[in-house]
Structure 1
Amino acid sequence: MDRDERRGVVRATSYADVPRQLWVEEPAVSRRMADPVRTAAVRAVIIASLTMIQGMVAFLCTLTGSWLAFPMVLSSVGSTVVATWAVLDVWVTRQVWNQRNGVVSIPSSTARQLRRERRTARRTARADARQAERIRRSRSGRLSRA
């Protein structure tokens, strides 16, 4: 028994019978990044790639003995600092976004479960207090009539 038979797939007799799909939707594995975080990440990738290109040009200029080697090495060092700053900006932007908009709590979250239990306990306590008040009122009403 081959793989297709185990899956329950019926084999086509010819290639004309096989449905061809150009695009197959797959569910997303992780949530999408927030817009400011994505913007910072794209900016960091562009800056880092330009820094690597600049470093390669500086290296090749050094090998050839070009007069451009020294200015390129200096600017590569500066670009490395800027690229590091851009990567840190992604991290900081992500932290700020999480603090401002809250972390999405998942159903198995411990804090959410505790809040749910406290809320249920408060509702039960209020219902018991209302019931006790009704009983007390009905007893006091009977005593005053007698």
Structure 2
Amino acid sequence: MGTAERREALEHGETAGSTALRGVEAPDRDIPVGERPAEPVAAQEQPGYRPLWVEEPARRRRMPDPVRTAAVRAVLIISVTLIQAMVAFLCTMAGTWPAFPMVISSIVSTVVATWAALDVWVTRQVWNQRNGVLSEPSSTARALRRERRQARRQARAAARAQERIRRQSGTGRLSHP
């Protein structure tokens, strides 16, 4: 309820705590899109109504947790290294005494940042090797599997039929050969 609506409500004798129907409300971010109630009719009928954003499905899958953790760590280390290199450059240009220690520490930070970037790559490779990559089989592989499955079913059906014939061959006779 906006300020003007509150004033009108108080002038008409309504209590300040009452709720009035609102035209357009902000969507709840914690409720998935499919479970949200329908938008008010008044919002749909407005000629200039346009939503603030349109939700699109993600193009790629989310990174696995260990890889994401390594990536965040690498970004933080690289950003600190860049800040440290800039401070070292400014100290060197100004000719102050912290210039030498800053240059040495920025060289060390560069080595650590390189290690952090490689850590992301290695973590990703290890995760893919342990958990496998998601891949969709090609249509030819699917067709070959389907043919093999069909051949196995036919072989099992033939074996069952042979077993049934062997069992039934002796029934109903007085003597067995």
Normalising by structure 2, report the TM-score: 0.63
Task: Look up the match of 1:86.
Answer: 116
For residues 25-40 of structure 1, what are the structure 2 equivalents within 5 Å? 25-40=55-70
Task: Look up the match of 2:105.
Answer: 75
The one-letter amino acid paired with 1:69 is A
Task: Look up the match of 2:54.
Answer: 24
CA distance in 1, matches of 2:115, 2:47: 56
State the 1:26 CA deviation.
0.8
CA distance in 1, matches of 2:139, 2:127: 20
Residues 46-66 of structure 1, C-alpha deviations (whole Å, 9 max, x = no match):
101111111111111111111
**Equivalent of residue 103 in structure 1, options 120, 133, 136:** 133
Percent sequence identity over aligned pairs: 72
CA distance in 2, matches of 1:85, 1:112: 42
State the 1:102 CA deviation.
2.0
State the 1:138 CA deviation.
2.6
Residues 63-120 of structure 1, C-alpha deviations (whole Å, 9 max, x = no match):
1111111111111111011111111111121122222222223253766665554444
CA distance in 1, matches of 2:52, 2:152: 56
User: Is the CA contact (8 Å cut-off) linking 1:40 and 1:86 kept in structure 2?
Assistant: yes
Change (3 A) 1:37 1:52: same
State the 1:40 CA deviation.
0.7
* Corresponding residue SS for 1:124: helix
Task: Look up the match of 1:3.
Answer: none
Task: Look up the match of 2:95.
Answer: 65
Task: Tell me, yes or no, if structure 1 residue 127 matches structure 2 residue 157.
Answer: yes
CA distance in 2, matches of 1:110, 1:92: 33
Larger Rg: 2
User: Is the CA contact (8 Å cut-off) linking 1:105 and 1:112 kept in structure 2?
Assistant: no
CA distance in 1, matches of 2:96, 2:77: 25
CA distance in 1, matches of 2:118, 2:72: 13
Higher RCO (C-alpha under 8 Å, 6+ residues apart) = 1
CA distance in 1, matches of 2:141, 2:117: 32
CA distance in 2, matches of 1:44, 1:75: 17
Aligned length: 131
Task: Look up the match of 2:168.
Answer: 138
Normalising by structure 1, report the TM-score: 0.75
